[in-house]
Structure 1
Amino acid sequence: MPPPASTSSGRSRITRRLGCLAWLLMPFVLLWALAKTPEWINDFELARMADRVKAYPRPPGTTLGDFGPQTKVRGGDSGDCRYTIRFGLDVDLPVEQVLNHYRQAKIEDPDGRLGDYEVSAWALVNEPGGEAAEDSAPSSLIIDLDGTLNGGLDLRCM
């Protein structure tokens, strides 16, 4: 009667095959991580700016809206990235007063410059067919901070 087959040799063969597969895939994983690193760095810098925007004192009579700051990066020209940081505010003030507050703010952008961005606002008006008076205060605003950052090797910016 032959001795029972050892299962350890079967496991080691599978383990060896998986190890070889991992070694074969390693260059591709490293290349992918190398290509994504500039994107991760830019996203990190934008997240830091979004935190600075959130921590910046809001105008009196305003509170943060239903969602926190959101960031978006898109291609620009000559290797620069265009970014947008968007956040909502519940307001009791006229739109121009809120815009002036953020236009005068000196919040450091991802490139280390102070106030190097444009500010715009989206007002949600609940009057169908009518227009709100220029000095009236909407109940909520969406604020956009738009600027550029040096894209470096970020593939989204090329």
Structure 2
Amino acid sequence: MSVLEGGMVLTETVPGALPEQRSRWPFFVCLALLAPIVAYVLVFKVPEWQNDEKLARLEERVSMLPLPPDTEHDLGAAMQGTVGLQSGNSNHCDYLVHMPLLTKLPDAEIARYYESAVIEGVAGGELSGTVYVNPSGSWREGFKGVIVEFFDGGHEAGFDMRCH
């Protein structure tokens, strides 16, 4: 230790006593690895999630339709919804909901019921159902299986890769 003329004291430091400066390269490596993942999610997954939400709302509206008389949900098969390219050749999103039912109604009557039923589509338009009758009947006496489809097509695809 030495004293300088102004009363200042100089001290000698041991080389290991100074704090080490941290390297910043791990931070930048992590950032470089995370950036493409975040970009992928923002560009491709967010549009998929948005379209999945639109499909879920459409399924909810279909499930809220009152059933015609002598008709019930087929408990052996659940309602199914699909979003993606369902018709045509490319670059648009289609939404399709299948609702399996069991009915005692004549084919023409159940078809007429769902053709006249109107629900709000994905973009606010009106949709009606199309009925497909299972010709082999059902496992329950007196009932036949039918599938009611609600199709809403031709919407903007965006970056949802299922629609290209």
Query: Normalising by the residue count of structure 2, what TM-score does the alignment of the two structures yield?
Result: 0.68
Structure 1 residues 24 and 55: CA distance shift in structure 2, 3 A: same
Amino acid at match of 1:51: E
Q: Greater helix share, 1 or 2?
A: 1
| Residue 33 of structure 2 corresponds to residue 25 of structure 1 | yes
Sort the Cα spacing of 1:64 and 1:156 in 2 relative to 1 into closer, same or farther, 3 A. same
Aligned to 1:56: 65
Asked whether the 8 Å contact 1:59–1:101 carries over to 2, the reply is yes
* 2:80 equivalent in structure 1: 70
Residues 62 and 89 in structure 1, CA contact (< 8 A), matched pair in contact too: yes
Structure showing greater radius of gyration is 2
Contact 1:42-1:151 within 8 A present in 2 as well? no
Distance 2:62 2:69 in 1: 16
> CA offsets per residue over residues 84-125 of structure 1, 9 Å max, x none?
21011111111221121111111001111112x551314151
Distance 1:122 1:82, change over 3 A: farther
Structure 2: unaligned runs, 5 residues or longer: 1-24
Counterpart mapping for 1:111-130 below 5 A: 111-115=123-127, 119-126=130-137
1:97 and 1:25 map into 2 onto residues whose CA distance is 60
**In structure 2, what is the equivalent of residue 157 of structure 1?**
163
Q: Secondary structure at the match of 2:136?
A: coil
Matched pairs, number: 134
Read off the aligned partner of 1:108 and give its amino acid letter: E
Q: TM-score when scaled to structure 1?
A: 0.71
Range with bigger deviation, 81-90 or 146-155:
146-155
Where relative contact order (Cα < 8 A, 6+ residues apart) is larger, the structure is 1
Match of 1:134 in 2: none
For 1:149 and 1:77, the matched residues in 2 are separated by 11
In 2, Cα distance between the equivalents of 1:41 and 1:59?
32
Query: Runs ≥4 in structure 1, deviation > 4 angstroms?
Result: 19-22
Where does the alignment leave 5 or more consecutive residues of structure 1 unmatched? 1-15, 128-136
RMSD across aligned C-alpha pairs, in angstroms? 2.7
